[in-house]
Amino acid sequence: MVVVYSVMLALGFAALVVIVMGGTLAENLNREDRDPGARIGQRGRLLVGAVLGFGIGGMSAEFSPLDISWPVALAIAMVAGSVGAFWVRYATGNSA
């Protein structure tokens, strides 16, 4: 499961970098129509937050000093993914 968590973490981080840097570039060039955060919409941003939270939560649970079994680590990762999606909804101020 560590491979799944690490792939999700890498994909979520890459998507977050594309959204932030692409939005900055679009704003500096006065091309708001090219903003990746606006183009993927609220559901896309929620998905990026959920994937990133899932990866972070899973990796944290797997490499915890506690002896956590993989089903518990998976449950922690799923909760972290939900928290990530809810944080995106809170931070953007929009509802899906």
The string of pLDDT tens digits covering residues 45-91 is 999 999 999 999 999 999 999 989 999 999 999 999 999 999 999 99
pLDDT of the residue at 96: 46
Token representation of residue 52: 């990133």
CA distance 74 to 79: 9
CA distance 60 to 70: 12
Q: What φ, ψ does residue 65 adopt, rounded to 5°?
A: -70, -15
- pLDDT exceeding 70 applies to what percent of the chain? 97
Please choose, from the candidates 44, 34, 26, 35, the residue with its C-alpha nearest in 3D space to the C-alpha of residue 89.
44
CA distance 89 to 1: 27
**Greater pLDDT, 93 or 16:** 16
Token representation of residue 35: 């903003």
pLDDT of the residue at 95: 52
The answer to whether residue 21 scores a pLDDT higher than 80 is yes
The answer to whether residue 32 scores a pLDDT higher than 90 is no
The answer to whether residue 15 scores a pLDDT higher than 80 is yes
Taking the model in full, what pTM does it have? Answer: 0.88
